[in-house]
Amino acid sequence: MEGGDELDESIRAHFPLSFGKPSKPQAHASAIHSSTRRAPPPNPNPNPTRPSYSASEDDGAMIGPPRPPPSRGGGGGGGGAGEDDEDVMIGPPRPPSSSRGGDAAEDEEDATIGPPPPPPPRSLDESGYDSDEDLDDESPEDFNRIPLSNEIVLRGHTKVVSALAVDHSGSRVLSGSYDYTVRMYDFQGMNSKLQSFRQLEPFEGHQVRSLSWSPTSDRFLCVTGSAQAKIYDRDGLTLGEFVKGDMYIRDLKNTKGHISGLTGGEWNPKSKESILTSSEDGSLRLWDVSDFKSQKQVIKPKLARPVRTPVTACGWDHEGKRIVGGVGDGSIQLWTIKTGWGSRPDIHVEKAHTDDITGLKFSTGGQILLSRSTDSTLKVWDLRQMRKPVKVFEDLPNNYAQTNAAFSPDEQLIFTGTSVEREGTSGGLLCFFDRRKLELVQRVGISLNFSVIRCAWHPKINQVFATVGDKREGGTHILYDPSISQRGALVCVGRAPRKKSVDDFEVQPIIHNPHALPLFRDQPSRKRQREKELKDPLKSHKPELPVTGPGFGGRVGTTKGSLLTQYLLKQGGLIKETWMEEDPREAILKYADAASKDPKYIAPAYAQTQPEPVFAKSDSEEEEK
């Protein structure tokens, strides 16, 4: 075979370099992920005794010859030729160890080939907590399992990203924003440019507040600021929208749907036909996806005063048998779905928070509940003892109504995002807490200028998602570690965009825009000049005013005549207007004598039939009598 390869190469040398299809060089995995490596976090771990996971501690694979060994101290002693031979590494470097001193035999036993295996899942008891045996075996290295070494950002939104949903396989991501749009990302189809393959606008002028996949990931729910939720298929095609209720009906149970803007929604994790929504009208509603025109159940929370109070958050438990809602008065109410159940809550915690509740999350065991609020707190509740929270984590700024809290895949960690404060310097953070010890484990800086709103940790691909943004920009940060994460971001980061070929032909269209020419260009505003011209009767062609007084010849003006000759004759006394000063009766009677002596028109006509004229008597005289 070696001789054949040499023969092929010798024959290829006689042909041009462009002959044949050359093989594509495969980039090394470390070179691919080196561009996405995170910088050391600006906020150090508040607990220095507990090791923090950062990019600087993850050496990863090496390119080229190995780096020279660092100088040893303590029990290592001085260097020698034998020690140098032992330090030469073949293949990937060994994972970092706490101490470099010791014998060579111990170093050989600790050496591992390939990436370290992922930590095994822990067993949970019936209450949802870790078993005591696992707690005893807990070591500080267990906290290094957070995938934080690399990071990519899915951009495209022009405002804060307020909704996030990752399908169950971890291949498709949905992000909704205050810019009224939903963007769909597919890891299998994306390249290193990280562009979305589809953009939707569910309702014009309404913010996207929640997104949720169905249990089979073939459809997803979109909740916006409008009163109607929408259902889309996996490719972003609209399947239907739920009906809106009559806003003039006072009783919410008699309305067909929500009458105010929605605040949240979630698909039943066990039933692909049931959906839960909450609204500002003060109700929670269950819907059947097969019928968009009717609702299954209307839930009115218990209130201390009969005032319409919005429901700011809602959620299902993992079995789809219980519903939890966060009411605007700060209370948490829980209902169990059973035969004959109604609006009366099974668990009612008054004043659970002092401000609006933005997120609620059940544990897998169903005994632990997380609540996030705009009062800068995260509370951990035990559903068996709801009188007071198990733990209250404070100093977690929250300025957005969609900020949530979540569990890690093994539910040993609790994490949530924080908002940027005006005078603060920490920026947007992801705060991780230990579920058993109920203490802060690590603060991870996501953005210096943007707040962190939604967060999620996908169990299958082992990657952390966090949405950020402000009034001008928004994005979705994905944190991963090539050694322990699978698929997801690892698939698209190493896929380079397609290069333009000579065979690619793009038609450059000729755009005709006649209004861009100076002839058709709009003139600058001349408002003051137009107002001045309107006051000028000559420029504005002001019509003549109607007759307002006596005149001559049918015209009246300032000279009481339209002609100069008439004005001069009148002033000279040649034209006398006496009819305005005479009595009409006297003016007629002065011709009575001439008419009787020499009749011309009317009297000769009646000379034979009525020689003596007969006049009608005055009506006024009869009325007086």
What's the pLDDT tens digit per position in 81-131? 444 444 455 656 666 554 444 444 444 444 556 556 655 544 444 434 344
pTM of the predicted structure, to 2 decimals: 0.64
Sheet with 474-480, strands from edge to edge, namely 150-157, 474-480, 463-469, 451-458
Cβ contact 339:310 at 8 Å:
no
pLDDT band for position 196 (cuts 50, 70, 90): very high
Residue 239: phi, psi to the nearest 5?
-100, -25
CA dist 517 → 213, 508, 513, 514, 524 (Å): 51, 21, 8, 6, 15
Least confident of 128-132, 148-152, 261-265, 382-386: 128-132
Distance of CA 350 to the CA centre of its chain: 31
Rounded to whole angstroms, the Cα distance separating 260 from 284 reads 12
Comparing C-alpha atoms, which of 304, 294, 399 is closest to residue 351? 304
Range among 34-38, 66-70, 147-151 with highest mean pLDDT value: 147-151
Q: What percent of the chain has pLDDT over 90?
A: 46
Residue-averaged pLDDT of the chain: 79
Residue 532: phi, psi to the nearest 5?
-70, -40
Rounded to whole angstroms, the Cα distance separating 94 from 107 reads 10
Distance of CA 389 to the CA centre of its chain: 32
Is residue 233 over pLDDT 50?
A: yes
pLDDT per residue as tens digits for the range 8-56: 666 666 665 555 555 555 666 677 778 888 876 554 444 433 434 333 3
Sheet with 230-233, strands from edge to edge, namely 208-213, 219-224, 230-233, 238-241
- Quick one: pLDDT at residue 125? 43
Q: Is 219 helix (H, G, I), strand (E, B) or coil?
A: strand
For residues 538-560, average pLDDT: 61
pLDDT band for position 509 (cuts 50, 70, 90): confident
Domains and CATH numbers, the chain: 167-412 (2.130.10.10)
Tell me the one-letter amino acid at 461. Answer: I
493 class by beta-carbon count within 10 Å (0-12 exposed, 13-18 middle, 19+ buried): buried
Q: Render the burial of 368-398: b for 16+ CB within 10 Å, e for the rest.
A: bbbbbbbbbbbbbbbbeeeeebeeebeebbb
- Quick one: pLDDT at residue 595? 80
For residues 506-518, average pLDDT: 76
For residues 604-620, average pLDDT: 76
pLDDT band for position 255 (cuts 50, 70, 90): very high
pLDDT band for position 619 (cuts 50, 70, 90): low
Is residue 345 over pLDDT 60?
A: yes
